[in-house]
Amino acid sequence: MKNIYLVLLITTVLLSFQVSKAEERLKLSGKIQNIVIEDKKDSLHVFIKLKMSFKAVGNDSILLWKQTYPHDKNLRDKFLCVNSKILGFLAIAKEEKILYYQQCALPSIQRSAAWQEVKNEIDSKMLPSNQIQIIKSGEALDFDADWSFIFLKKKAINSNDPFWGYSSEYDVLSNEIKNAKDLSLQVTYRVWSSELESRSDIKHKKPFGKKLQKRWKKFGYLWLDDIVSEPISLDLNCATVINDEK
């Protein structure tokens, strides 16, 4: 009897693994191109340039809405950042921790007539090529990204100020981050705007997006969820350092 339970357990685990692998459709990875550190009197300002890549890893093509915020020239045709975080091991720590967390400033939900026009254009039986980017199975879509972080040299009263981009829970000082080991950067992007859904209180259900998912199934899988990147190796020792004591 015990052997039967063991076989059933192993079978369940294997099937669960197969299902999770089968459902894997899209990966987001990145590679750091350049790091510049401005060493100021009270803080370190870290500027990072990356090459990010969406890759369709499943059997289906992936459909990405590429407009994001068509009425804002600063956000148009850009994937929208949700948050970023730096993970690593502090010098005295044995476990990996989030050393820095930054919530990106998201545009407020407008539900304007202009957005209704965008929805009307998307709400089509045929795939609107000017709105949707197709990533075929096995192919990738690359894009550039810039990130910046600020690490204080001393504890500050205003460390909870949103200007600094982090909360006291992740209040890591500049000397701690420089001495930390195995640093990695992880970023989250939003590729389906809440503006396209009719009510903000049910936006997590995404009824409009899911309707299009079914309609466009023959073209590929319309991606609606926020996507978290794979950890991106971060080596601050490779940075160009600019001393600015002013």
Of residues 167 and 39, the one with the higher pLDDT is: 39
pLDDT tens by residue, 9-50: 444 444 433 333 435 899 999 999 999 999 998 999 999 999
The span from the CA of 227 to the CA of 117, in Å, is 26
pLDDT-wise least confident of 22-26, 62-66, 208-212: 22-26
**What pTM was computed for the model?**
0.79
